[in-house]
Amino acid sequence: MERPSDQRRVRGNGSRLAGGAVRQAANRRRRVRSYISIIAGLAIWELVARLIHNSLFIVPFTTVVSRLVTMTVSGQIWPNLGASSYEFAVGFLLGAGTGILIGVVMAASRPVEEYLDIWVTFLYATPLVALMPFFIIVFGVGIPAKIAIVYVMVVFPVLINTFTGIRTADADLLEMVRSFSASPGQVFREVLFPSALPFILTGLRLGVGRGLIAVVVGELFFSQQGLGYLINLAGQSFDTPLLFVGVLILAVAGVVLTGFLQTLERRMTPWRR
């Protein structure tokens, strides 16, 4: 009597394996097309730049790369890259931590939510980079002001996503663990946090983009170092290759960090397809 269901089971696994092969092929095709697209884009950039032949407006990709190599060899890039990385890392980690913490507290407590909700919505919608001059007044022109601007830019997307993730947890699953006498802490560990995890990772991904904007904008004002400083310097001295070096590094950083978080999301939430 067990047999029929067993057989169906095997067949079910088989088709799932076949589905996996199809998905893998689709993924491979997607990757190949992405690479072709990147190469084609860079080739067009190179071609157009050589045709226009005005290094003030646009410089070929190869010129930007060779400038980057020169700066790496001379060591000019490192203090700037280091400063920006440091500001971003500290601001991002503090912002993400605060966002998750307040998001959890808001989701757990109706009164806290009702008191804070209006301010969170208001501040999330505000282009907070506009506060940079204010942070310079408060913290001076050094690194703390940049950390502050990254922090406020990262907090809100993480906070809102954490809150939403916890609030949208499946009510049936909550009742299920409660029926097994789970304490509030256990309900959080078993259901609320795992439900919120994909949302939190999405919030962090949004935070990466906003944090990078914050670093650059922060360094555009009265800085002595950083990628934003280099870009500003390049603009003032009509050094287009240097300008593109700065932008290129930021773009790569954004892609790498976002990709890392996407991989993390896939690894940590294998049940989502």
Partner 1 sequence: MAAPKVELRGLHIAFAGEDGPFDVIQDLSLQVASGQFVAFVGTSGSGKTTLLRSVNGLLQPAAGEILIDGEPVRGPGPSRAFVFQRDCLLPWRNVLDNVTLSLRLRGVSRVARTAAGMDLIRLVGLRGFEHHFPHQLSGGMRQRVNLARALAADPDVLLMDEPFAALDAQTREVMQLELLRIWLRTRKTVLFVTHQIDEAVYLSDRVLVLSARPARIREDIEVPFPRSRALSLKRSPEFAVLADRVWSLIESDVMSALQGGETADDR
The residue (of 186 and 225) whose beta carbon lies closer to partner 1 is 186
- Tell me the closest approach of the beta carbon of residue 194 to partner 1, in angstroms: 4
The residue (of 123 and 187) whose beta carbon lies closer to partner 1 is 187
- Joined together, the tokens standing for residue 208 give 């990466």
Taking residue 48's Cβ as centre, other Cβ atoms within 10 Å add up to 11
Q: Which residues contact 139 (CB under 8 A, 6 or more apart)?
A: 145, 148
Q: Using CA atoms, how far apart are residues 120 and 97, in angstroms rounded to an integer?
A: 16
Q: Where are the alpha helices (DSSP H) in 76-167?
A: 77-108, 110-125, 132-139, 143-167
Q: Which residues contact 104 (CB under 8 A, 6 or more apart)?
A: 162, 163, 166
Burial class from Cβ neighbours inside 10 Å (0-12, 13-18, 19+) for residue 172 reads exposed
x/- letters, 171..190, toward partner 1 (CB under 8 A): -xx-xxxxxxxxx--x---x
> Of residues 13-52, which lie at the interface with partner 1 (CB under 8 A)?
16
- Tell me the closest approach of the beta carbon of residue 13 to partner 1, in angstroms: 8
The residue (of 262 and 269) whose beta carbon lies closer to partner 1 is 269
- Tell me the closest approach of the beta carbon of residue 18 to partner 1, in angstroms: 14
> Of residues 199-218, which lie at the interface with partner 1 (CB under 8 A)?
none
264 is a contact residue toward partner 1 (CB under 8 A): no
**Could you give the 3-state DSSP secondary structure of residue 189?**
helix
The residue (of 167 and 178) whose beta carbon lies closer to partner 1 is 178
- Tell me the closest approach of the beta carbon of residue 246 to partner 1, in angstroms: 41
Q: Using CA atoms, how far apart are residues 107 and 105, in angstroms rounded to an integer?
A: 5
User: What are the residues binding partner 1 (CB under 8 A)?
Assistant: 1-2, 4-5, 8-9, 12, 16, 172-173, 175-183, 186, 190-191, 194, 197, 269-271, 273
